[in-house]
Chain A
Amino acid sequence: MDGTSDREVGDRLRAMDPLRGTARHYLDAEVVVAAVAASHHSRRRRSHRLVLAAVPVLVAAVVLPLALGRPPATGHGAAALGLGGDVRVVVHASSTSAPSAIDGSEGQTYYANVPAALVFSTASSFIEGAKAAGPARVFTVTSPPGPDAARQLAASFGVPRRPVSVYGPDVVVGPVTGTHLAVASHGGVLRWTYVARPDHTLTATGTPTSGTLSQSVNRARAMLSRLDNGYGMLTFSPPSAVLGRTISVSFSMVLDGEPTDLGTTFVFGPDGVLERASGAVIRVRGSGTYAALSPSAALSVLRSTSFCTLEARRGHRRSRPEVVHVDLEHASARFTTFAASRHRSVLVPVWRFAGPALVKGSTVSQFAFDVVSLRPDELRIEHPRCTPVG
């Protein structure tokens, strides 16, 4: 087809454009973004229902009917600790495949639903390794201002200083479609993410070698020390690495000698190029000491927990819950972040009980239950607002 014919086709068709000569008016960007956000939240609620129906792959959380409405009586003169809701036991669940290490979600607190009726079994000695409970220290988490932290982190990663986009408390340094550093505040905890582009780093193929693995771990150590901007009483655990298409090297933040659900992760491509990284910028300060719960008492709390469903919570008709047997194999002490309010989080000591979950004899996921290791009368817990499962 020659150019004249091509032009003629274009002219004739463009002349038929129904919008030709009409005034254009478009939705305001804010309206569209708000519509998307509203849909996103309702979709998340829907997905919880799907999880409930389809049995446990992801997460949930739970409520505890202990100490209901009882006036708090603390043994140390401190006010009872409120954790921003009626949550006392936090459930983590993951598929049997290796969990993603990059998104920093491992320690998120979920206020959703439990996917099934849980039945626990334990080996008689599994709890013996757990050290005895001492006084339980609780820490308040603070973070520096987002823009300051973002700029400092961006400089550490060599991200261009501009453009800087500010979305409320969230900040992105560098082009969002290119290499950038983003920080976001969740309950006062500033989490950051570094993403490297151009995309060739994300599409590199091949398998990392053991040499690449050791190099990556060494590079991650060096980067972590470069990022250190004074974590105060927080330290980092030795690295743990996950080798797949990429190499994820993670360091947990350690507080009072116990691991926390916060940490820093570096993800390297098969060619050793840093693809992504994430972490949190926090400081902690002690906010009180409370009477602690022993591991066996915490296990009793877990066993007596009445799990409830989102449907029940929302007044929907419940379907028959799936029965999931959880074989608890490990008990350990650690700290978990609780968002006490929109702008404030606390690191609370918990006993973590973990093991595989089985449905009809098949392992479907790994469950971990973080039971707040404070005596019930130390906690200010609201009435549960749901109907127990089963």
Chain B
Amino acid sequence: MGPADSARLRALVEAHTGVVTDYLRRRLQFLPAADVDDLVSETFIVLWRRVRDVPTGDAERPWVIGVARNVLHNAHRSAYRRRHHEGRVRPSTASSSAEDEALSDVAAREALDGLTAPERELLLLHYWEGIDAAGLAVVLGVTPNAAGTRLSRAKARFLERLEPPELDGTELGAADMGEGDGRYE
């Protein structure tokens, strides 16, 4: 590794530590919050090993997030195995007033929970990390067209669940209608 690689690593650290930290903090789930710093370091260790593979330009940030994603998945798998082995669930320490506020949007939470995991991930990468379809393709290792299609589908599914179609009275059967003047009660 030459000085250019070292300089590149430093540039990556300076540019993306915040992005990586935020990404990980948002998705800690049952991992302790104190693990974030270790996971951030682990992410950059991986980036260091592959520093010559990291693309430049628009693809750089999605690529970095893709690495953080893999690091987080590994951590979750390890934690799951440990948790399973220990037979107990570690309490989450990630609650905050903002989270409480977020949870107050019960409809949106339920809509999100109703999506598949890949759909949820796409939406949150897009709206929380601000990654566009081309970047999602880099993170997820799919073609930009596939990423765009999946993102659109996930948005549509989220909206469907968020706003169930308004019911038109004419479509309801008689048994659903009140007697007499036909008004629904």
Residues of A in contact with B (beta carbons under 8 Å apart): 1, 5-6, 8-10, 12-22, 24, 26-27, 29, 32-33, 35-36, 39-40, 43, 103, 165, 167, 170-172, 176-177, 180, 182-184, 191, 193, 195, 199
Contact = CB atoms under 8 A, between A and B. Distances in A.
Interface string B40-57: 110011001100000010
Interface stretch (B63-71, B83-91, B156-164, B168-176): B156-164
A16 B108 contact: yes
B2 A21 contact: no
Nearest to A195: B4
B45 A35 contact: yes
B17 A176 contact: no
B18 A12 contact: no
Contacts of A21: 97-98, 101
Contacts of B105: 12, 15-16
B11 A19 contact: no
Contacts of A193: 2-4
5 contacts: A19-B22, A27-B40, A32-B17, A40-B48, A43-B49
B112 A177 contact: no
A171 B158 CA distance: 51
Interface of B: 1-4, 6-11, 13-14, 17-18, 21-22, 25-26, 37, 40-41, 44-45, 48-49, 56, 94, 96-99, 101-102, 105, 108-109, 112, 123-124, 127-128, 152, 155-156, 158-159, 162
A274 B49 CA distance: 26
B112 A29 contact: no
A327 to B, nearest CB: 33
Query: For chain A, what secondary structure do more than half of its interface residues adopt (helix, strand, loop), or is it mixed?
Result: mixed
B98 A176 contact: no
A33 B9 contact: yes
Contacts of A33: 9-10, 13, 44
B164 to A, nearest CB: 14
Nearest to B128: A17
Contacts, number: 137
A27 B37 contact: yes
Given A8-B162, A12-B162, 7 more contacts: A5-B155, A14-B128, A18-B26, A18-B102, A20-B101, A21-B101, A199-B56
A157 B171 CA distance: 76
Given A32-B17, A170-B6, A1 B112 contact: no
Nearest to B100: A18
A16 B159 contact: no
Chain A to chain B: the 5 pairs with minimum beta-carbon distance, closest first: A170-B3, A35-B41, A16-B102, A182-B4, A13-B127
Contacts of A183: 3
A359 B2 CA distance: 33
Contacts of B156: 1
A375 to B, nearest CB: 37
A5 B159 contact: yes
B127 A9 contact: yes
B10 A167 contact: yes
Nearest to A278: B2
A14 B97 CA distance: 15
B128 A36 contact: no
B102 A176 contact: no
Nearest to B43: A32
A18 B158 contact: no
B159 A17 contact: no
Contact of A26 (B9, B17, B102, B158): B17
Contacts of B9: 33, 36
Contacts of A103: 2
A33 B13 CA distance: 7
Nearest to B25: A19
B7 A16 contact: no
A29 B159 contact: no
A117 to B, nearest CB: 31
Contact of B40 (A17, A32, A43, A172): A32
B174 to A, nearest CB: 34
A40 B41 CA distance: 12
Contact of A22 (B1, B98, B123, B124): B98
A32 B41 contact: yes
Contacts of A184: 2-3
A247 to B, nearest CB: 20
A386 B163 CA distance: 72
Given A9-B158, A13-B112, A27-B41, A177 B2 contact: no
A118 to B, nearest CB: 29
Given A10-B127, A12-B105, A29 B26 contact: no
B25 A9 contact: no
Given A32-B13, A40-B48, A182-B3, A13 B97 contact: no
B111 to A, nearest CB: 8
B17 A27 contact: yes
Contacts of B108: 12-13, 15-16
B1 to A, nearest CB: 8
A167 B8 CA distance: 11
Contacts of B45: 35-36, 39-40
Contact of B123 (A9, A27, A43, A199): A9
